Amino acid sequence: MGMLDGRIALVTGGADGIGAATVRRLAAEGATVVVTDINGEGAAQLATEVGGIGLHHDAGSEADWQRVMEQVRERFGRLDVLVNNAGVGGGGAGDIEGQPLADFHKVMRVCVDSTFIGCKLAIALMKEHGGAIINISSVHGIRAAGYETAYSTAKGAVRLLTKSVAQHCAGYGIRVNSVHPGYVLTHQVQKWIDAQPDPRAVMAGLLAHHPIGYLGTPEDIANGILFLASDQAKFMTGSELVMDGGYLL
């Protein structure tokens, strides 16, 4: 018997990285998973693998969200778990002097707008029976990074948005929590490391920030998301699950 038997879950940014690991973890515990991603083909392939549904989804678009949620409503009539995982880094120069306003707006749209819209629309599909919303923030949503102005701002906003929504939703039996990963060795992070002039030095610098001695894996974070989605976390709402290998110590 799985921890999520019979439940309907939706994971944004689900085609790769933490999102894909989460899709597989939730499905392994019995959930039917709606996989959404800007990479619609990748979402469809993973959905086929886990017996779910894959949808193309620009998570920063309210119209796209409405289309996705309407398909969930028509197919299942309910939603039990929402994982707002879609996100993007700043790219290029990330400090306040070097970051273009257009990049700042892009990060806010994909990280913050998407979470706001997802929470707002999920409530209508959850409020009659309860549910769990998990918003993916970051250690940089707690401790800012001067080289990631937009990303730190966005993930800090996700952190407090989560608490605001949790207060509002408590009477509906909808739990809303945030997850704050440290650096996770996804394909995107590895690609960024490999593109640096001295990848070994960059990796050494990242490891130095994590007292546990290694970077996280997508599966590590997926395990925490599963916990928050399950009844094992039924007394948690508005909480921050920090999974950072000691980064914030």
pTM as predicted: 0.96
In this structure, is the dihedral angle defined by the CA atoms of residues 55, 58, 60 and 66, taken in order, positive or negative?
A: negative
Report DSSP state, residue 57: -
Reply yes or no on whether the pLDDT at 92 is more than 60.
no
Q: Residue 11: count other Cβ atoms within 10 Å of its Cβ.
A: 35
- The mean pLDDT of 142-159, rounded to a whole number, is 95
What share of the chain in percent tops pLDDT 70?
98
Q: What is the pLDDT, as a whole number, of residue 238?
A: 98
Q: What is the pLDDT, as a whole number, of residue 59?
A: 98
Length of the chain (residues): 249
- pLDDT band for position 7 (cuts 50, 70, 90): very high
Q: What is the pLDDT, as a whole number, of residue 89?
A: 72
CA-to-CA separations, 241 to 61, 142, 159, 223, 233, in angstroms, rounded: 27, 11, 11, 11, 11
Residues classed as catalytic: 151
How many angstroms separate the CA atoms of 182 and 70, rounded?
34
- The mean pLDDT of 93-112, rounded to a whole number, is 92
- The mean pLDDT of 179-194, rounded to a whole number, is 93
**35-65 pLDDT, tens per residue?**
999 999 999 999 999 999 999 999 999 999 9
How many angstroms separate the CA atoms of 154 and 111, rounded?
6
CB 129 within 8 A of CB 78: yes
Q: What is the pLDDT, as a whole number, of residue 163?
A: 98
How many angstroms separate the CA atoms of 23 and 9, rounded?
9
Reply yes or no on whether the pLDDT at 83 is more than 50.
yes
Reply yes or no on whether the pLDDT at 86 is more than 60.
yes
Q: What is the pLDDT, as a whole number, of residue 64?
A: 98
- pLDDT band for position 93 (cuts 50, 70, 90): low
How many angstroms separate the CA atoms of 241 and 218, rounded?
15
Phi, psi dihedral angles at 36 (to 5 degrees):
-120, 150
How many angstroms separate the CA atoms of 6 and 22, rounded?
17
Q: Return mean pLDDT, the chain.
A: 96
**64-80 pLDDT, tens per residue?**
999 999 999 999 999 99
Q: What is the pLDDT, as a whole number, of residue 94?
A: 83
Reply yes or no on whether the pLDDT at 91 is more than 70.
no
- Enumerate domains of the chain plus CATH numbers: 8-181+217-242 (3.40.50.720), 184-215 (no CATH)
How many angstroms separate the CA atoms of 41 and 63, rounded?
20
- The mean pLDDT of 209-214, rounded to a whole number, is 97
